[in-house]
């Protein structure tokens, strides 16, 4: 019979967790702070450089536009499917059009119905 031991966190485990999770988080926060600070002071011929808050807002708008376009696309394909089904039933060719086409028939007339 094997026994399982429960591992407890040791101080070195906390140091490893800090190295893996906390340091990158601090670096990201510092990056955002530097971006915000420098964006407020840079003026170009096209206007001011957007900061993190403006970029986040535009990213949210872009996601909303994407979702709206996906809904429009789905509605379009649904309408198109209904239209195609309706037109197919109305303009259906006679059953004899799907019969075998003899190879002796000239190429240009092979697509014509064989009745």
pLDDT in tens, 58-100: 999 999 999 999 999 999 999 999 888 887 766 665 555 555 5
Q: Where are the domains positioned within the chain?
A: 12-49, 52-88
**Residues 7-57 pLDDT 10s:** 777 778 888 888 888 889 999 999 999 999 999 899 888 889 999 999 999
Say whether 47 sits in a helix, a strand or coil: strand
User: Would you state the pLDDT for residue 102?
Assistant: 61
Q: Is 32 exposed, middle or buried (0-12, 13-18, 19+ CB in 10 A)?
A: middle
Q: Is the pTM of this model over 0.75?
A: no
CB atoms within 10 A of CB 49: 15
User: Would you state the pLDDT for residue 70?
Assistant: 96
Torsion 77-82-87-93 (CA) sign: positive
């Amino acid at each position: 019979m094997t026994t399982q031991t429960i591992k407890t966190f040791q101080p070195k485990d906390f140091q490893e967790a800090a190295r893996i999770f906390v340091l990158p988080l601090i670096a990201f926060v510092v990056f955002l702070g530097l971006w915000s600070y420098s964006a407020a002071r840079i003026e170009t011929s096209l206007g001011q450089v957007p900061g993190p808050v403006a970029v986040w807002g535009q990213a949210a708008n872009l996601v909303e536009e994407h979702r709206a376009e996906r809904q429009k696309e789905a509605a379009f394909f649904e309408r198109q499917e209904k239209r195609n089904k309706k037109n197919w039933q109305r303009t259906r060719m006679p059953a004899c059009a799907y019969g075998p086409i003899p190879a002796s028939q000239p190429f240009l007339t092979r697509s014509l119905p064989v009745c």
